[in-house]
Structure 1
Amino acid sequence: MELTGNNVFIRFLEVTDAESLLNLHVNNRELFQKFSPTFPDDFYTLGSKRKSISDSIVQREEDKKYNFGIFLKETGDLIGSVSLNHVYRGPLERAMIGYQLDEQYNGRGLTTEAVSLTVAFAFQQLKLHRIEAGVMPSNTGSMRVLEKAGFHKEGIERQGVKINGRWEDHQILAILSETKSEEE
């Protein structure tokens, strides 16, 4: 399945994307590590990427997680990833969104485009009601991505995620399916 925007397309990651995903993570290690929980020792190996993608396929089949690659429309190159994590059904009908983009493509609106495609998938295909995100307050670029995609600030989660050995606050943002429908 592929969802296409003006400049990027997203599709579920496949095991054949493992090498490209590894290159993305190795080339952006310093940037991604600033805003992510500490990665295990084997994170930067091809085997780890293959296993991660294989696990995500199983989680998608179980309706727990949907992991997409972000691909540049012009070249077909993998330039990032976006995922719907912690999918809850029943009275919640929600998920958490997370994303990362190769630093050389930052500032072009590509992440916003990929996030918007993922939100549309979540509301139209998965019929979710709510998508949440947590962003370190110092990560203003990520905050702009979410706001441009229609997310609204809800509050601060105090010391919610341990990043680089330190408990960090996160700005919680969310978008509701009704909100998205009203904007269109």
Structure 2
Amino acid sequence: MYYRGSQFFIRPYVLEDADALSDLMVRNRELFDPFTPTRNESYYTAAEQRKNIELWTQAREADERYSFGIFAAATDQLIGDISLFEVARGPLQKCMLGYCLDMLHNGKGIVSEAVRVIVDFAFEEAGFHRIEAGVQPRNRGSIRVLEKAGFQREGLARKNVKIHGEWQDHYIYAILEEDIRRD
């Protein structure tokens, strides 16, 4: 199952992606670190990424999480990650969105387009009604990505996530299925 953009394709992870995923996280550790909860050193190993991919595959089958790699169309190189997680079904029908992109590919519109692709997947294939995303107020790039994709800022979750021992505020953004204009 592949989803294509103009410069990339998105597909669910397979075990053979573990080395590339580990490399992506190691190469971009300094970039990603200010925005992610503290990770232990084993997170950056291929062995740990294999475990994650196994868990994500099981979670996808159980309709609990949808994790995808973002791959450069020209080279098939893993350049990012995009995931729908914290799936809530029943009367909520919602999930959270998270993403990251290799620093060498920032500023090319890849994440903005990838978010639009994953939003289509979430509404059209996975059947969600609402997608939420949290973003630190200082993460202006991610705010632009969400707003370009049609997400609306709904408020501020004060001291929402503990990152490196400090509670961080997050703007809460959301998009509803009815917000997407279908022609």
The answer to whether TM tops 0.5 is yes
Other structure's SS at 2:20 match:
helix
How far apart are residue 104 of structure 1 and its match?
Answer: 1.0
Check if 1:81 corresponds to 2:81: yes
Q: How does 1:1-184 map to 2 (within 5 A)?
A: 1-180=1-180, 182=181, 184=183
Amino acid aligned to 1:19 = D
Give me the identity figure in percent.
50
Distance 1:140 1:29 in 2: 19
Distance 1:70 1:48 in 2: 19
- Structure 1 window deviating more from structure 2 (38-47 vs 64-73): it is 38-47
Other structure's SS at 2:25 match:
helix
Distance 2:76 2:111 in 1: 15
| RMSD (Å) for aligned C-alpha atoms | 0.9
Amino acid aligned to 1:26 = V
How far apart are residue 166 of structure 1 and its match?
Answer: 0.5
- Runs of 4+ deviating beyond 2 Å: none
Other structure's SS at 2:82 match:
strand
How far apart are residue 40 of structure 1 and its match?
Answer: 2.1
Q: In the TM superposition, what whole-angstrom CA distance separates every residue of 1:72-130 from its partner, at most 9, and x where no partner exists?
A: 11111100000000111110000000000001111110011111111100000011000
- Structure 1 window deviating more from structure 2 (116-125 vs 39-48): it is 39-48
Distance 1:45 1:160 in 2: 28
Q: In the TM superposition, what whole-angstrom CA distance separates every residue of 1:117-164 from its partner, at most 9, and x where no partner exists?
A: 111000000110000000000000000011111101100000000011
Amino acid aligned to 1:81 = D
How many residues get paired? Answer: 183
CA contact (8 A) 1:8 1:113 kept: no
Amino acid aligned to 1:43 = Y
